[in-house]
């Protein structure tokens, strides 16, 4: 067994994990990155389209380019990165976190005083949206198709049905169109694409890719191989409308039906989980309910910008520093709660006695023009900031002055009005 002792172990070598490790090393801590995949960079390696890094670098980089800048920095700082290394068990032993991992070099035991989880998201599967019919070859998730097309040059089929109008689905539709898929159709139950307007423009409308709103897949047809799918129109409540079933012939069906935080290991460890995000409950430095265990990036909730995911990692690195130097916490945490027009909000509470302003990320549940994002306590409004528009597809970032939160020890409510 190989023993590795560090101040901090970062689980996950995607952009957020890399950013956390880079910042921790810059702050003078010894860190190791543990990555279960073959290489560092996470999902960005297969995201060959551009648009990453506009906030952080003022440039529209591709995914691999964005990842490379952090991978190179990690190398310059001499941070150890363990790829093909999978954490199988985590225990608290005598005040230290002990992570047991398996790797091609054997079993490893990492010992550290803090852990940063950056395990990202997984894709929801067709099973989770109850698609009927058979289970032939040719049914994929969108992320898998992105990987096949962009890294292996393999197309999933000649006539492809894409299920879901989110960003990943639209981006994959464009790749498939450009790389030579003969016929494409995108279907989704909403009245319009759920993803970002920029992707509707540059992935769908730019190329005239056909799409059908208010349509879902009722069942998949085919014995060995996908032969088609039965489409059905749905009403406002996403209930199938009888008599509108239609057979659509295709040889592949690609599901792009949402992302779920990979929080199962944290959950097993006993970390509190937010039922809205399905990720861990965290304080203002993105520390989970387990002391010294932090959670960053898409493990909290899927972000629109990798830049924002990376920012949570930078903030968590400061939190690790506070934890390791034993800084004071409040006797009672101050809860941050989502209002009726907010679908989800991170972080969930303010727990440290002092520190930086509180960076909030929230996803509205409504669409509004010229909205206010307001922060209220029982005594009335504490703070507001204006936006030109708010929509569910767009995550909002708000920097809340710490003093305002501290003046409301009973908690605050964040809403879109």
- Contact residues for another protein, defined by CB under 8 A: 38-39, 45, 48-51, 54-55, 58, 60, 62-65, 67-68, 149-153, 178-179, 196-202, 206, 304-305, 388-389, 394
Of 57 and 247, which CB lies nearer to another protein in the complex structure?
57
Of 110 and 303, which CB lies nearer to another protein in the complex structure?
303
Q: Work out how close the CB of 167 gets to another protein at its nearest, in angstroms, rounded to a whole number.
A: 8
Of 84 and 337, which CB lies nearer to another protein in the complex structure?
84
Interacting residues of 130 by C-beta distance below 8 A, sequence separation 6+: none
Q: Work out how close the CB of 157 gets to another protein at its nearest, in angstroms, rounded to a whole number.
A: 18
**What backbone phi and psi angles, to 5 degrees, belong to 348?**
-105, -15
Please state whether beta strands 358-364 and 372-377 pair in parallel, antiparallel, or not at all (unpaired): unpaired
Q: Work out how close the CB of 385 gets to another protein at its nearest, in angstroms, rounded to a whole number.
A: 15
Q: Work out how close the CB of 117 gets to another protein at its nearest, in angstroms, rounded to a whole number.
A: 24
Q: Say if CB 8 and CB 24 are below 8 A apart.
A: yes
Structure-token pair, residue 90: 């985590």
The whole-angstrom separation of Cα 96 and Cα 102 is 19
Q: Is the peptide bond before 379 cis (omega within 30 degrees of 0)?
A: no
Q: Work out how close the CB of 196 gets to another protein at its nearest, in angstroms, rounded to a whole number.
A: 5
The whole-angstrom separation of Cα 144 and Cα 369 is 36
Of 64 and 409, which CB lies nearer to another protein in the complex structure?
64
Taking CA atoms, 173 is separated from 44, 147, 228, 387, 400, in Å, by 18, 13, 18, 31, 38
Element containing residue 324 per DSSP (H, E):
helix 306-324
The upper half-sphere exposure of residue 293, i.e. CA atoms within 13 Å in the direction of its Cβ, equals 26
Structure-token pair, residue 340: 């009726």
Of 175 and 218, which CB lies nearer to another protein in the complex structure?
175
Q: Work out how close the CB of 305 gets to another protein at its nearest, in angstroms, rounded to a whole number.
A: 5
The whole-angstrom separation of Cα 154 and Cα 66 is 24
Of 60 and 137, which CB lies nearer to another protein in the complex structure?
60
Of 49 and 278, which CB lies nearer to another protein in the complex structure?
49
Of 14 and 133, which CB lies nearer to another protein in the complex structure?
14
Taking CA atoms, 112 is separated from 5, 92, 309, 323, 380, in Å, by 6, 10, 24, 12, 44
Q: Say if CB 166 and CB 187 are below 8 A apart.
A: no
Q: Work out how close the CB of 47 gets to another protein at its nearest, in angstroms, rounded to a whole number.
A: 9
Structure-token pair, residue 35: 């990555």
Q: Work out how close the CB of 197 gets to another protein at its nearest, in angstroms, rounded to a whole number.
A: 4
Find where tokens 């939190």 sit.
Answer: 319
Of 38 and 224, which CB lies nearer to another protein in the complex structure?
38
Q: Work out how close the CB of 70 gets to another protein at its nearest, in angstroms, rounded to a whole number.
A: 13
Q: What is the DSSP string of 35-103?
A: -SSSSSSGGGGG--SEEE-TTTTSS-EEHHHHHHHHHHHHHHTT-EEE-S-EEEEEEEETTEEEEEEEE
The whole-angstrom separation of Cα 242 and Cα 127 is 22
Q: Work out how close the CB of 153 gets to another protein at its nearest, in angstroms, rounded to a whole number.
A: 5
The whole-angstrom separation of Cα 329 and Cα 13 is 29
Q: Work out how close the CB of 284 gets to another protein at its nearest, in angstroms, rounded to a whole number.
A: 24
Of 199 and 283, which CB lies nearer to another protein in the complex structure?
199
Of 287 and 396, which CB lies nearer to another protein in the complex structure?
396
């Amino acid at each position: 067994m190989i023993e590795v002792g560090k101040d901090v172990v970062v689980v996950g070598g995607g952009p957020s994990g890399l950013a956390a490790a880079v910042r921790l090393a810059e702050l003078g801590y010894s860190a190791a990155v543990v990555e279960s995949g073959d290489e560092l960079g996470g999902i960005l390696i297969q995201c060959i389209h551009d648009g990453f890094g506009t906030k952080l670098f003022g440039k529209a980089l591709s995914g691999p380019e964005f990842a490379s800048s952090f991978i190179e920095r990690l190398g310059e700082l001499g941070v150890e990165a363990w790829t093909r290394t999978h954490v199988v068990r985590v225990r608290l032993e005598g005040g230290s976190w002990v992570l047991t991992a398996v790797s091609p070099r054997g079993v490893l035991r990492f010992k550290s005083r803090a852990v940063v989880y950056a395990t990202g998201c997984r894709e929801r599967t067709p099973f989770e949206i109850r698609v009927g019919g058979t289970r032939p070859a040719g049914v994929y998730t969108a992320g898998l198709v992105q990987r096949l097309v962009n890294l292996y040059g393999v197309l999933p089929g000649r006539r492809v049905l894409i299920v879901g109008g989110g960003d990943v689905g639209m981006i994959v539709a464009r790749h498939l169109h450009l790389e030579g898929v003969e016929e494409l159709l995108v279907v989704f139950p909403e009245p319009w694409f759920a993803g970002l307007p920029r992707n509707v423009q540059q992935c769908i409308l730019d190329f005239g890719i056909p799409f059908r709103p208010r349509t879902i897949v009722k069942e998949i047809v085919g014995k060995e191989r996908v032969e088609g799918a039965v489409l059905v129109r749905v009403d406002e409540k996403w209930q199938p409308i009888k008599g509108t079933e239609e057979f659509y012939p295709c040889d592949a069906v690609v599901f792009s039906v949402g992302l779920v935080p990979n929080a199962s290991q944290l959950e097993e460890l006993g970390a509190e989980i937010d039922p809205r995000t399905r990720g861990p409950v965290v304080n203002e430095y993105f520390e989970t309910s387990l002391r010294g265990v932090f959670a960053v990036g898409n493990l909290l909730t899927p972000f629109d910008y990798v830049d924002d995911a990376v920012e949570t990692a930078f903030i968590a690195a400061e939190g690790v520093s506070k934890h390791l130097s034993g800084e004071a916490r409040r006797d009672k945490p101050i809860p941050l709660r989502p209002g009726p027009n907010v679908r989800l909000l991170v972080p969930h509470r303010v727990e440290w006695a002092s520190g930086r302003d509180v960076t909030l990320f929230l996803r509205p549940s409504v669409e509004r023009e010229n909205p206010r994002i307001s922060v209220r306590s029982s005594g009335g409004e504490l703070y507001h900031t204006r936006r030109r528009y708010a929509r569910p597809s767009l995550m909002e970032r708000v920097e809340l002055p710490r003093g305002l939160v501290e003046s409301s020890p009973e908690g605050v409510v964040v809403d879109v009005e």
